Each structure stands twice: as C-alpha cells, then as structure tokens.
Amino acid sequence: MDANALDLPASVDAVVELLAAQNYLCDRRLATALFLALKLRRPLFLEGEPGVGKTELAKALAAALGTALLRL
C-alpha cells in the first residue's frame, strides 16, 4: 500500500481505539505522540529498556494500518 494512501486515524481517541483493536493498550500520552507523528508524517523515536514494548507497539501499529513493519 502506498504511504500516501493510508487511512490515518482522525484523532487521538481513534489511535487508542485502533491499537485496542490490535490488543495493545495505549495511554493518552503515547497516543498523542503517535497521532502527531502520523499526522505530520514524521518518524517517532521510542527509547527504553529492553522488554518495555517498543517493538510490540510498532507491530500493533503496522498491523492496524495494514503496512509492513521494517526493523532496522
């Protein structure tokens, strides 16, 4: 799917619902950061200790948007 043709969530609440449909619980602060990154079409840098869920978030978001996940 072309990145320009993605059906992006229209609000922060829509991001929460989108991820909830993928069984990923997301707080409002993270949903806001995701919403802005998607809206502005900019990357979001996530950092944290191993096991905190960075990759799981990426997997859930990719699945919810119907895009491929590229791990570098």
Q: Which residue, 16, 35, 18, 38, is CA-closest to 27? A: 16
Q: Per residue in 3-48, pLDDT tens? A: 456 789 999 999 999 999 999 999 999 999 999 999 999 999 999 9
Instruction: Give residue 71's pLDDT.
Output: 83
In three state form, how does the secondary structure of the chain look?
CCHHHCCCCCCHHHHHHHHHCCCCCCCHHHHHHHHHHHHHCCCCCCCCCCCCCHHHHHHHHHHHHCCCCCCC
Give the residue carrying structure tokens 């944290």: 48
pLDDT of residue 3: 47
Q: In which band, very low, low, confident or very high, does the pLDDT at 1 lie, cut at 50, 70 and 90?
A: very low
Q: Taking the CB of residue 60, how many other CB atoms lie within 10 A of it?
A: 21
